[in-house]
Amino acid sequence: MLNNVLNSVWYKRALKIEQNLFNNGWTYIGRGKNRRVWKLKNKNFVLKIAYTDSGIIANKNEHTFYRNSNRINFAACRLICDNILMMRAVSILDDSDFCQYKLIPSWAFNLNDGPQVGIDRNGMIVAYDYAEEVN
Could you tell me the maximum CA-CA distance found in the chain, to the nearest angstrom? 43
Q: Is the pLDDT of residue 40 over 90?
A: yes
pLDDT for 118 = 97
Average pLDDT over residues 60-74: 89
CA dist., res. 60 & res. 81, Å (int)? 9
Distance CA 32, CA 69 (A): 24
Whole-number Å distance between alpha carbons of 39 and 29? 7
**What pLDDT was estimated at residue 113?**
87
* Domain 2-133 coded CATH 3.30.200.20: yes
Alpha-carbon distance of 54 to 131, in angstroms, equals 10
- pTM of the predicted model, to two decimals? 0.89
